[in-house]
Amino acid sequence: MARSMPETSVEQVLQHEILTSSCPADLKRNHGFSFTPAPHAACSPVRSPAAAGRIQAPAQTERMASSGLQTKKRDNHNGHFVQPTNPNVATMQEDVLYHFHLSTSTHDLPAMFGDVKFVCVGGSPTRMEAFTKYMAKELGLDHPGAEYPNICVGTDRYVMFKVGPVLSVSHGIGIPSTSVMLHELIKLLYHARCSDVTVIRIGTSGGIGLEPGSVVITRQAVDASFKPVFEQMVLGKRVVHRTHLDERLAQELMQCGADLREFPTVLGNTMCTSDFYEGQGRLDGALCSYSEKDKQEYLEAAHAAGIRNIEMESSVLAAMCGACGLQVAVVCVTLLNRLEGDQVNSPHEVLVEYQERPQRLVGHFIKKRLAAAGNPRDL
């Protein structure tokens, strides 16, 4: 088992390096691993009003978005609106959300999505459809013969379902696919004039020092060098974004886990990588440039740094949603303990039940939020 180490002290050291140095100290010198320095970039929200034209969507499309629920028109003017940081969005005559097969000129986005308060995203299209059906039952909105059509039926890139104030969207595997989805999702919420939106990723991961089936609520998304940043290349230059998540939201989700008392729920850091195999220190990929000893030392160091699971989307989710003022959280179940192996070999029925655990926790959270607001149909 990994050596014990105060998690907060490690985070403080990493945050200090990021905040005080334009050229971060070599991670190998400080923590035993290398890190490529990168400049920082700040994102400032733009408060320009939307100027894109909107026309009425076909009745069939509106029915798909509402999933058979009669949604009530509300005055959202007192809420916190979704706001992209790109000022160009507000001046576009038409905004084509290509990968969703939606557009501001062909769909009435406020009518279709204006009541959305919760956006739940996950990698698998099948899982997100199942979550929609689960939430319909949990919110009392299901009825015999109810159907929940894919709103993005015109494309095979992503799926999108809606029931009441809950939007369910797939993001595929990894940072690139998730990034594309988030760009268009954030713009959709902006054009729809949505306010007070909470975004939660529900997914799977590899645990570090946890039993399979444990649910990890992410306190901080970190990269493969254990730093709380998301780095990307923009116009040939490295740009670094912070990956802070909402602490109060994480604690609220932790309380939901305590309410349910159905499975282990822990709060910990999540390492986001760009690869499933070598990027996560696996020994079973087609390529492997390190030894089992190297792998074990790396994972034990990650555990000592407060990391409790590994996946491939949390950092870009935290960076993009945070920059646009969206409350965001990550809730993932662990399918295995990476300190004990690399392959996911639990029986299929066991894995299916594991994957339902984040859905049950997030479903409980949504019900609590709606109950606190007084009426699940009119948040």
pLDDT, tens digit (0-9, with 9 covering 90-100), for 20-36: 333 333 333 333 333 33
Q: Name residue 122's beta-bridge partners.
A: 170
CATH number at 50 reads: 3.40.50.1580
- Annotated binding-site residues for substrate read 280, 282
pLDDT at residue number 35:
33
pLDDT at residue number 144:
86
Report the alpha-carbon distance of residue 103 to residue 106 in Å, rounded.
5
In a domain, 328, yes or no: yes
- Annotated binding-site residues for phosphate read 157, 201-204
pLDDT at residue number 42:
34
The structural domain count of the chain equals: 1
In a domain, 5, yes or no: no
pTM for this predicted structure? 0.80
In a domain, 103, yes or no: yes
> Of the candidates 336, 337, 357, which has an alpha carbon nearest to the alpha carbon of residue 256?
357
In a domain, 281, yes or no: yes
Asked if 120 contacts 363 with a C-beta cutoff of 8 angstroms, the reply is no
In a domain, 3, yes or no: no
What's the pLDDT tens digit per position in 54-94? Answer: 333 444 444 444 433 333 333 434 578 999 999 999 999 99
Asked if 378 contacts 117 with a C-beta cutoff of 8 angstroms, the reply is no
In a domain, 187, yes or no: yes
In a domain, 331, yes or no: yes
pLDDT at residue number 276:
97
Ranges of the chain with pLDDT below 70: 1-78, 375-379
Q: Which domain holds residue 137?
A: 11-373
The two tokens of residue 191 are 């054009």
In a domain, 71, yes or no: yes
pLDDT at residue number 375:
60
> Of the candidates 331, 328, 305, which has an alpha carbon nearest to the alpha carbon of residue 245?
328
- Annotated binding-site residues read 157, 201-204, 280, 282
